[in-house]
């Protein structure tokens, strides 16, 4: 039989209940401790403000923090091996590395069909991403809250509105699960002597179009203001030095300007961030997708459009050694490889303010040992003018130059770590220093850092790549691991690295600024090709023809002859002019731009017009400059070649006419009496003419092949667009799809004979 509670127990229960209720309204603090020391965070019991988070890093080594970056995972239902390899490799790797943060900088899912032509959201891929990240967090032993993931353009394909039914990122991503809803999230890793501020940004379209016209980042003035605020959050506090790092998906070369024509570059330079970590480009364009940005008072207008070299030249070489002089405004942009094909992971370390990184390739499988030198820095990709000034002015961080240091991550105990320095002045590497490195031992350790004392002043040299460093690590199993041989310069000089043309194409060109100048140049070029010869034909007394070119050879006469012959085929000339006016002023396509396929949008040369889901109004040209991937290839690989080939066909007809008349002996001033003499030779002449048509008009045959190539290229583009935006070419873009083939066919027909 159940006992009845006494009044005293009931009163005690009420008191406990009141205390519990009271405790929920009072600020309390809890700590989240990573395995092996890790990071401790003071978290208010009030709703978490993820946009401004502080993690106190506990355990040794106190002078170093390190994080891991992953990017462009592209989990796909058509390529399950990407998620399987991620689950197999990344969890154990993170357990070995034990980072304080894990940053995943966009393109978490692929969002593409098997033929790669249709690009929209697939919920199955997001479910897979969520499951894989749960498994990775569990196997790594890391607190899941230290994972930060961002949207990439693939994660935004066909998403009409953030928070809508097709915004799977908000439901399945780690940021979404922790309520990090803002486009800007910052986290500060705080040690005993330094704050390390990491600011993540989401600059994807607010209205996500389907690909391929969803390629650029679109920062707004509001986003730039938020980034500025987060980067300056500790500036007013004194005492601890601050290292600032930002991370996002899009490189700055693929980031548009805001409404007020400001850019991410302006904000990063204002705060002199150490680095901007990004993805998006993968490794198919090259492995040196890095870029150094520096504020230049003598800013050239060309720098707004492109940067020729990886290292931007400083505006002046003078050093300002005044106490508390403002630092030089500069930063590094480091695009990393992709997981999609390269299976790449990056470790970024900050050692007493010196930022270094190591890109790891897991295509060959897991790694037993990883070595990341943290000082001296690689003079190709990591040094800045600030370090050169700091060294020249002797404003060095105490002890930061006095040891060679490296982080070692291994699944097995380490028995030996040796640093070797090579001198390459003679042309071949000559080892001049070999020293054993010792481990810093702490009671609570997040990882192992090794150091060796050296006389850094002995390595001062005007050449930034004379001395090279390599570190060898041997574990208890006898396995040897070598770090990459890298140049260094203790006096802060940068070794110059040149881009390949593909690396310059994607990193050195500011495509958002280049689109409209290129577009206008293409339009002016085509108008000039069509209109100038027409005016010459109408108002000039001089007749440009094949005869004129033969008698007065020259480039101008050649161009004038070819283009004037095109003007004489009126239906073709007016057809090209009308088509060009149509492309500039009218919609090209009417396609499905969102995942659900509800409303159709209209694509023009200025962007897409689509209905706003929040109102009946239309957006003004969203997706610009993203539409350049459709507009510019059509102009330069279809329209311009078609006009030139049409002119060449017209000119070839003139050549054929003159050649035929010379062979047949037919002259305009022949006497009528010659007609009877020639009539007896009619059959022989017809035979010669047919032979000439078949053998001698080889130029025309080549031009016909070029016409077929242009049409093939055009129909390939039309097929891709029809699949991408679910269109019928005859219904949704008839002028775009049919005009060029019809104009070329008409040109071929009109130039088939001399009549």
Average pLDDT score over residue span 189-207: 94
Instruction: Return the pLDDT at 752.
Output: 84
Q: What is the pLDDT of residue 122?
A: 96
pLDDT at 615 over 70: no
pLDDT digits (tens, 9 = 90+) for 52-61: 789 999 888 8
Structure tokens at 145: 């809250």
In tens, the pLDDT along 109-125 reads 999 999 999 999 999 99
Cα-to-chain-centroid distance, residue 499: 15
Query: Which residue ranges make up each domain of the chain?
Result: 53-313+325-508, 514-664+698-751
Q: Can you give the three-state secondary structure of 353-395, one letter per residue?
A: CEEEEEEEECCCCCCCEEEEEEECCECCCCCCHHHHHHHHCCC
The predicted structure's pLDDT at residue 33: 40
**pLDDT, position 635:** 97
pLDDT band at residue 29, thresholds of 50, 70 and 90? very low
Residue, of 234 and 43, whose pLDDT is higher? 234
With pLDDT > 70 as the criterion, what percentage of the chain qualifies?
Answer: 80
Kindly tell me if the per-residue pLDDT of 171 is higher than 90: yes
Residue 492 confidence (pLDDT)? 86
- Per-residue model confidence (pLDDT) at position 28: 30
Instruction: Give CA–CA dist 222/234, Å, rounded.
Output: 20
The predicted model gives 30-53 an average pLDDT of 46
343: left (phi over 0), alpha (psi -120 to 50) or beta: left
What pLDDT, on a 0 to 100 scale, did the predictor assign at position 549?
A: 61
Q: Give the other-Cβ count within 10 Å of 399's Cβ.
A: 10
CATH fold group of domain 53-313+325-508: Purple Acid Phosphatase; chain A, domain 2 (3.60.21)
**What's residue 23's pLDDT?**
37
Signed CA dihedral, 630, 635, 637, 638: sign only: positive
Q: What is the pLDDT of residues 218-273, one digit of tens each?
A: 999 999 999 999 999 998 888 888 999 999 999 999 999 999 999 999 999 999 99
pLDDT at 696: 62
Residue 328 pLDDT > 90:
no
Burial class (CB in 10 A: 0-12, 13-18, 19+), 175: buried
Please state the rounded mean pLDDT for residues 512-532. Answer: 94
The helix/strand/coil state of 452 is strand
For residue range 625-668, what is the model confidence (pLDDT) as tens digits? Answer: 999 999 999 999 999 999 999 998 988 887 777 766 666 665 44
Question: How do residues 358-373 score in pLDDT, each as one tens digit?
Answer: 999 999 889 999 999 9
Among 351, 433, 442, residue whose Cα is nearest residue 399: 351
* Residue 606: other Cβ atoms inside 10 A: 17
Average pLDDT of the chain, as a whole number: 85
Give the least confident one: 176-190, 489-503, 606-620: 606-620
Comparing CA positions, the residue from 278, 289, 199, 291 lying closest to residue 245 is 199
- Tokens 């043309």 identify what position? 501
pLDDT in tens, 568-600: 899 999 999 999 999 999 999 999 999 887 778
Q: Does the structure show a pLDDT above 80 at 312?
A: no
The predicted structure's pLDDT at residue 365 = 85
pLDDT of 461-497, one tens digit each?
999 999 999 999 999 999 999 999 999 999 888 998 8
Least confident of 316-325, 547-556, 676-685: 676-685
């Amino acid at each position: 039989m159940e006992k009845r509670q006494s009044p005293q127990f009931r009163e005690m229960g009420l008191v406990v209940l009141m205390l519990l209720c009271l405790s929920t309204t009072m600020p309390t603090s809890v700590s989240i401790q990573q395995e092996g020391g890790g990071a401790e965070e003071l978290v208010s019991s009030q709703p978490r403000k993820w946009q401004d988070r502080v993690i106190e890093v506990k355990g040794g080594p106190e002078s170093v923090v390190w994080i891991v970056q992953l990017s462009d995972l592209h989990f796909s239902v058509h390529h399950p091996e990407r998620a399987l390899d991620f689950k197999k490799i990344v969890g154990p790797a993170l357990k070995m590395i034990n980072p304080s943060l894990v940053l995943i900088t966009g393109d978490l899912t692929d969002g593409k069909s098997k033929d790669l032509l249709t690009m929209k959201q697939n919920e199955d891929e997001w479910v897979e991403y969520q499951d894989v990240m749960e498994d990775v967090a569990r196997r790594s032993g890391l607190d899941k809250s230290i994972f930060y993931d961002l949207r990439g353009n693939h994660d935004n394909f066909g998403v009409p509105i953030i928070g809508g039914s097709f915004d799977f990122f908000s439901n399945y991503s780690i940021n979404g699960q922790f309520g990090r809803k803002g486009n800007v999230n910052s986290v500060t890793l705080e040690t005993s002597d330094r704050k390390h501020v990491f600011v993540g940004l989401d600059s994807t379209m607010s209205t996500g179009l389907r690909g391929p016209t969803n390629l650029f980042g679109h920062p707004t003035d509001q986003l730039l203001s938020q980034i500025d605020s987060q980067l300056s959050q500790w500036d007013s506090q004194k005492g601890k030095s601050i290292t600032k790092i930002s991370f996002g998906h899009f490189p700055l070369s693929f980031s548009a300007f805001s409404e007020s024509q400001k850019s991410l570059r302006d904000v990063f330079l204002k705060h002199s961030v150490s680095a901007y970590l990004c993805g998006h480009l993968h490794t198919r364009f090259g492995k040196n997708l890095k870029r150094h940005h520096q504020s230049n008072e003598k800013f050239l207008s060309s720098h707004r459009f492109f940067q020729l070299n990886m290292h931007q030249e400083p505006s002046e070489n003078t050093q300002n050694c005044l106490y508390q002089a403002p630092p030089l405004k500069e930063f590094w942009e480091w695009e990393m490889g992709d997981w999609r094909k390269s299976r790449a992971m990056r470790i970024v370390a900050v050692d007493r303010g010196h930022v270094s990184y190591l890109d790891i390739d897991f295509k060959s499988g897991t790694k037993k040992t990883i070595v990341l030198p943290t000082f001296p820095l690689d003079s190709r990709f990591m040094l800045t003018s600030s370090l050169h000034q700091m060294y020249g002015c002797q404003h060095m961080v105490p002890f930061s130059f006095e040891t060679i240091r490296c982080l070692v991550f291994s699944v097995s105990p380490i028995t030996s770590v040796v640093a070797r320095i090579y001198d390459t002045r003679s042309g071949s590497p000559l080892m001049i220093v070999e020293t054993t490195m010792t481990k810093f031992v702490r009671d609570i350790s997040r990882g192992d850092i090794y150091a060796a004392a050296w006389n850094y002043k002995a390595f001062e040299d005007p050449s930034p790549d004379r001395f090279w460093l390599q570190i060898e690590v041997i574990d208890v199993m006898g396995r040897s691991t070598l770090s990459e041989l890298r140049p260094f310069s203790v006096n802060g000089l940068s070794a110059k690295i040149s881009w390949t043309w593909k690396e310059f194409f994607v990193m050195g060109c500011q495509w958002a600024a280049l689109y409209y100048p290129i577009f206008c140049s293409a339009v002016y070029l085509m108008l000039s090709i069509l209109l100038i010869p027409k005016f010459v034909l109408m108002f000039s007394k001089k007749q440009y023809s094949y005869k004129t070119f033969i008698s007065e050879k020259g480039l101008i006469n050649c161009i004038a002859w070819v283009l004037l012959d095109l003007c004489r085929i009126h239906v073709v000339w007016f057809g090209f002019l009308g088509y060009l006016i149509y492309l500039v002023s009218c919609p090209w396509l009417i396609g499905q731009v969102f995942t659900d396929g509800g409303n159709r949008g209209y694509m023009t040369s200025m962007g897409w017009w689509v209905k706003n889901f929040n109102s009946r109004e239309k957006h003004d040209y969203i997706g610009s400059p993203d539409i350049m991937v459709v507009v510019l290839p059509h102009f330069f690989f279809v329209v311009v070649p078609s006009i030139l080939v049409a002119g060449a066909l017209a000119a070839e007809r003139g050549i054929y006419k003159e050649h035929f008349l010379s062979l047949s002996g037919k002259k305009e001033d022949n006497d009528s009496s010659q007609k009877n003499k020639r009539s007896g030779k009619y059959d022989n002449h017809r035979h010669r003419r047919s032979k000439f048509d078949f053998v001698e008009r080889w130029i025309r045959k080549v031009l016909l092949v070029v016409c077929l190539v242009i049409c093939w290229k055009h129909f390939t583009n039309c097929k891709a667009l029809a699949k991408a935006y679910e269109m019928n070419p005859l219904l949704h873009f008839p002028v775009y799809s049919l005009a060029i083939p019809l104009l070329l066919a008409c040109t071929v027909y009109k130039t088939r004979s001399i009549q």
